[in-house]
Structure 1
C-alpha cells in the first residue's frame, strides 16, 4: 500500500509540475531584476523586437520566468496591421521565438 501511495503522489507531482513552469513577474519584481543587472533594460529588449519588425508599434509587454529563464514577451503590430509575438531572453537579448499572432 505504501508503494501505491508513493506512486500516486509522485505521479500527481509530475503532472502538476508542468503547470508551474511559467510565472508572470510583476512590475516591482521586473524592475528589481533590471536594477540589479540580472536582466537587460526594457528599452534594449524592446529595440531587439523592433529591429526584427521595423516600423512596428509595441502593443504589450510581459516578463515571465519560464523553466529557470527570464523571458520578455513583446506583442507588436506592424505597418500592415499584422500582429507579431516576439519572445526575447531577458538576460542575453537573444530572440527565442518570433511568430505571427494567430
Structure 2
C-alpha cells in the first residue's frame, strides 16, 4: 500500500508542478495588467524586441505567467528570413532570452 501511495503522490506533485509552470493570459487580463501599470506597455516591449533585430517584423506575441512572473514572448522574422524567439520580463522590460528558431 505504501508503494501505491508514493506513486499517487509523485503523480499528483508532477501534475501540480506542470500546471503551475505557465499560464497563458487572455487579452482582457493582459490589458488589465498593462492599464494597472503592473506590466510595461506592449508598445515598449515590442520596441525592445525590434531593437535587438533591426528591420525585423513581429509575427506573434503572447503574455504568460510563469512561476509568478509575467513573461512576454515575441516571435520575429528578420530581413534575411530568420525567425527569432524572444522572452522579456513584462514587468521590467528586460530581455531574458533571445534565440534563433531552428
More moved, 41-50 vs 16-25: 16-25
Aligned-partner Cα distance in 1 for 2:92–2:65: 14
Encode CA deviations 1:38-97: one digit per residue, 9 max, x unaligned.
Answer: 100000000110111111100110001111110000000001011000000000111111
Shift in Å, 1:5: 5.5
Q: State the partner residue of 1:27.
A: 27
Q: Distance in 2 between matches of 1:29 and 1:6?
A: 39
Give TM-score scaled by structure 2 length. 0.91
Structure 1 gap segments, 5+ residues each? none
Aligned to 2:61: 61
1:16-95 alignment runs, 5 A limit: 16-20=15-19, 21-95=21-95
Instruction: Figure out how many residues of one structure are paired with residues of the other and give that number.
Output: 101
Moved over 4 A (4+): 3-6
Q: Extract unaligned runs of 5+ from structure 2.
A: none
Q: Counterpart in 1 of 2:101? A: 101
TM-align CA RMSD: 1.3
Q: Secondary structure of 2:39's match? A: coil
